[in-house]
Amino acid sequence: MFIMSKLIKPEGYRPALDLRQTELAIKKIKDFFLNSLSSELRLRRVTAPLFVLKGLGLNDDLNGVERAVTFPIKDMDDAPAEIVHSLAKWKRNTLAEYAVPPGFGVITDMNAVRADEELDNIHSIYVDQWDWERTMTREDRTLRYLRRIVDRIYGCILRTEYYLSEMYPQLTPFLPEEVHFIHSEELRRQYPDLTPKEREDAICKAYGAVFIIGIGGKLDDGTEHDLRAPDYDDWSTPNDDGFCGLNGDLLIWYPLLNRAIELSSMGIRVDAEALERQLALQGKEERKSLYFHRRLIGGELPLSIGGGIGQSRLCMILLHKAHIGETQASIWPEAMRKECREAGIALI
């Protein structure tokens, strides 16, 4: 059941752009950002699947608890297929198939269904994101390299924000010029009495844009900042700062909703050693028999870094919208639609 208190309704909210302008602006953002990121990281566009066969290990578990939407394929003896959650592992397989050399990569438009998502201003069951993956060398498996890639991605976001403000002067840029980096354990120590989400709000309000490192690994108090599946991001390898983890989340402070918003989850991917370690830590060693995991352990997949960047969510914050439903077409509870109408929020 939809709980109305989850919806944030900015007082006196009025969209900066009407519906017609919004649709045009969404196209401009998506085209400009895709071209910018592809050029910056040398990424080649590839065609992505909407679903994969169940049991290959190619679909992503995200936090490890979300259920995939599953359906039988009539012409394949009802073999079960799954709507993708994201393409982290599929992309790495694609790097191998295309023999992409280090320093180059792939990017695709990913569309997914996450039926277990809790719906609010920034969460939808429909997910659209730029999924990218880049081949790397073993020498690049460092925190320094991760930070450099994050800075380059954030630079593309800033360029897109400026480009948009030139066309629509009412959209005043608000993002800071630089990203603040902090490990999730450092963040816990800084705000020991806050929950992980409250810590994100506090640090993002202080710095404007933050990359939290080491998402998925155990903190010193035995908890995790957030959950991560064991078989794509490397959250357990010791890094240059004396902590563990070569992955993280990019978040910004969004004044309109007075909260932190995650724009990207990304990281250096597991090598064979980290995969086996993380599978053991989560008690999921049986996955080693799956197609993807066998290829990785057998040295058939390249080392890589990659992530996803939410398209509708990026459009939402760059267009100064109060709800992600203003930048994508999805399904919302009728109670939420009613609340949004009363608050001046026009869901597509």
> Locate tokens 């919004």: which residue?
22
Are 40 and 150 contacting, i.e. CB atoms less than 8 angstroms apart? Answer: no
Q: Are strands 259-268 and 304-310 parallel, antiparallel or unpaired?
A: antiparallel
CA angle 24, 28, 34 (to 5 degrees): 145
> How far is it, in rounded angstroms, from Cα 138 to Cα 122?
36
Q: Which residues contact 62 (CB under 8 A, 6 or more apart)?
A: 85, 86, 114, 228, 229
Find the DSSP H helices in the chain.
19-41, 88-97, 143-167, 184-190, 196-207, 272-281, 291-297, 311-318, 334-342
CB-based burial label for 254 (10 Å; 0-12, 13-18, 19+): buried
Considering only CA atoms, which of 216, 205, 199 is closest in space to residue 174?
205
Which strands form 51-53's sheet, in the order they lie side by side? 51-53, 79-83, 70-73
Which residues are part of the catalytic machinery?
60, 114, 129, 249, 262, 265
Q: Which residues pair with 218 in a beta bridge?
A: 224
Provide the residue count of the chain: 348
Q: Are strands 180-183 and 209-213 parallel, antiparallel or unpaired?
A: parallel
